[in-house]
Amino acid sequence: VQLQASGGGLVQAGGSLRLSCAASGRMVSYYRMGWFRQVPGKEREFVASARYKPAIINYDDSVKGRFTIVRDNAENTVYLQMNSLKPDDTAVYYCAAQGNFKGGTYYYQPSNYDYWGQGTLVTVSS
């Protein structure tokens, strides 16, 4: 299983970026797709996730209303549209896939995910 993230870059505050994560194989086979981010010296933190069936989307409070996760099963790609970016959004962004349902775990926990992409750097200048 491979996840290939792309789309990061340098953007001014208030700008937008769209991250993409291409998954090998059929993405419909993944129970949940997620985006996380990490800055040096801090733990990886949850950004957004999209479950397949039933379709449920979750966002961290810090990105609600600004970020949108889109899971395109036909294209085997999950996107993260990021609008109204802030300097605090600067981080390496990782996409992740959860293979199957896991009881007693939560969508925002990195340990819930089985596969990870290589990360793409997003830098927001003030």
pLDDT at 52 over 90: no
Amino acid 6: pLDDT: 97
Strand ranges inside the chain, DSSP E: 3-6, 9-12, 17-23, 32-38, 45-51, 56-59, 67-72, 77-82, 91-98, 115-116, 120-125
**pLDDT number for residue 100:** 86
Averaged over 10-27, what is the pLDDT? 93
pLDDT at 104: 83
Residues 49-71 have a mean pLDDT of 95
pLDDT at 63: 98
Q: How confident is the model at residue 43 (pLDDT cuts 50, 70, 90)?
A: very high
**What pLDDT score does 1 carry?**
77
In the predicted model, is pLDDT for residue 107 greater than 80? yes
pLDDT at 103 over 90: no
Mean pLDDT of the chain: 94
Read off the pLDDT band of 30 (50, 70, 90).
Answer: confident
Cβ burial, residue 36 (10 Å; 0-12/13-18/19+): buried
As a whole number of Å, the end-to-end CA separation of the chain is: 37
Indicate the SS3 state at residue 88. Answer: helix
Which 8-state DSSP code applies to residue 65? T
